[in-house]
Structure 1
């Protein structure tokens, strides 16, 4: 019972949860950005390859 009361009254728990939620949000944003950038990079290389092939007449 004392453990439960101590857990409910301590402020370290909520602070740790807030940091965990913040870290999860930052991670999700980074993963979304990497996904978007990787697709844009692939599209750019595909476009460059098409233009080079057209210029070389292949």
Structure 2
């Protein structure tokens, strides 16, 4: 039977890898947050807002 050397925790090497991946993901998502929103998506959001303000009369109920 193989025993874990670190009960209830991850291997220190795995922990370092996990931390590195987490840091890279945070940097990636931060860069995505800073990207401009495409005009087509802004137009769609505006149409949805207008439909909500009109009470869903345009089929967007």
TM-score, scaled relative to structure 1: 0.47
> Which structure would you say has the larger RCO, counting Cα contacts within 8 Å and 6 or more residues apart?
2
TM-score, scaled relative to structure 2: 0.45
Q: Which has the larger radius of gyration?
A: 1
Structure with higher helix content? 1
